[in-house]
Amino acid sequence: MDLELSESELAFQAEARAWLAANVPAEPLPSMDTAEGWALHQEWEARLAADRWSVVSWPRDYHGRDASLIEWVIFEEEYYRAGAPGRVSQNGIFLLAPIIFEHGTKDQQDRFLPTMATGEEIWAQCWSEPEAGSDLASLNSTARRDDGRGGWVLNGQKTWSSRATYATWGFGLFRSDPEAARHHGLTYFLFPLDADGVTVRPIAQLDGEAGFAEVFFDDVFVPDADVLGAPGDGWRVAMSTAGNERGLSLRSPGRFCAAADRLVDLYRSSAVEVRGAPAPSLETSDVGKNVVDAWLKAEAYRLYTWGTVTRLADGGEMGAAGSVNKVWWSELDIALHETALDLLGTDAELDSTWLDGYTFALSGPIYAGTNEIQRNIIAERILGLPREPKGAQR
């Protein structure tokens, strides 16, 4: 692993840093889980796209910069270091787009990628069902063939669909062959959330905002042109998405390193400037040790990611290592925010940044495949341990 950047990479870093310094809003945007915040986050996506910073690793024909994987990591680090807004388009850009590039038709790439890059169309991930969360293969939503109209008819229910409250398009798996084995007979569909037969019902979170929604399908017609990959091959396509979600793309290390730096700043200021009391010892106090531990783990994740990038650049694959990433960053996110709340004490109720971050971090071990499932994958596919007995996960 080479941590020395080349001259061109340093130039890319300097350009990104300068653009972010000139364009990042001075004040945090309102929550994207509100109508006002959603609109402002879409405007931010458009601003990024106008100067080709929304999807740096994509081809130039789709608003990208043809940036390398290393340059993508550099940009992510600079993005979060600058305190830039969260990405309302992340489901589309980081989860769906990679498999549209890999499995989509040229028509699908031309129709969906440009508006995804500019934030005109925001995508919701519609995977989980009431009886099929991390056990994705047990889903019950169906797709029935309609040869007369040249497409499929969807029925069923999805739940905990991120961004579905305000998003315009969704993507998800449906069982298109009820006679096939669990992981077969599934098909991957793209569908507008305002189509006839689609009902979106927002789900209020702890803070009252609707970052998730239930989506109901009642005889929703989807043309063949909006099937991603081959009919019946949805599981293989979906696993491409899962690898992206658990691996590099959903949670880049820059996010956690920036939070760790803010935590150190909070430690320095909370005891001395706010409370006027001596700072808790880094060596002897639990909260001081937790500050150091969280910072070290964020830096470890950064270095591990650079190792992964090097391996991928040399032709390697992510594979089951994405599960290691997922467990690490989801638990790190909670630790970072819990330590901040410990430092703030009762003042935490007045600090929406850390409190909001904490409530979101609590969902980390659940979404993108629960950490229990990820530990099984690590045990079986990386460590070579025996498979868990059937039914033990229930």
Q: Which helix (H) or strand (E) holds 107?
A: helix 106-118
Reading phi first (left if > 0) and then psi (alpha if -120 to 50, else beta), residue 351 is in beta
Q: What distance in Å separates the CA atoms of residue 97 and residue 76, rounded to the nearest whole number?
A: 17
Using CA atoms, how far residue 186 sits from 54, 132, 179, 243, in Å, is 32, 14, 11, 18
Query: What is the DSSP pairing of strand 123-125 with strand 169-175?
Result: parallel
Bridge partners (DSSP) of residue 203 are: 212
With H, G, I as helix, E, B as strand and everything else as coil, classify residue 268.
helix
- Yes or no: say if 188 and 199 are a contact pair by the CB < 8 Å rule: no
DSSP 350: G
> One of 71, 76, 77, 245 is an active-site residue; which one?
245
Structure tokens that stand for 192 in this block = 């507008």
Bridge partners (DSSP) of residue 142 are: 155, 175
Q: What distance in Å separates the CA atoms of residue 131 and residue 394, rounded to the nearest whole number?
A: 12
- Active site includes 245? yes
CA 188 to chain centre: 19
With H, G, I as helix, E, B as strand and everything else as coil, classify residue 198.
strand
Using CA atoms, how far residue 156 sits from 138, 171, 173, 222, in Å, is 13, 14, 11, 14
Dihedral angle at the C-alpha atoms of 303, 307, 309, 311, nearest 10 degrees? 180
- Yes or no: say if 74 and 11 are a contact pair by the CB < 8 Å rule: no
What is the amino acid identity at position 237? V
- For 264, how many CA atoms within 13 A lie in the half-sphere containing its CB? 12
Active site residues: 245
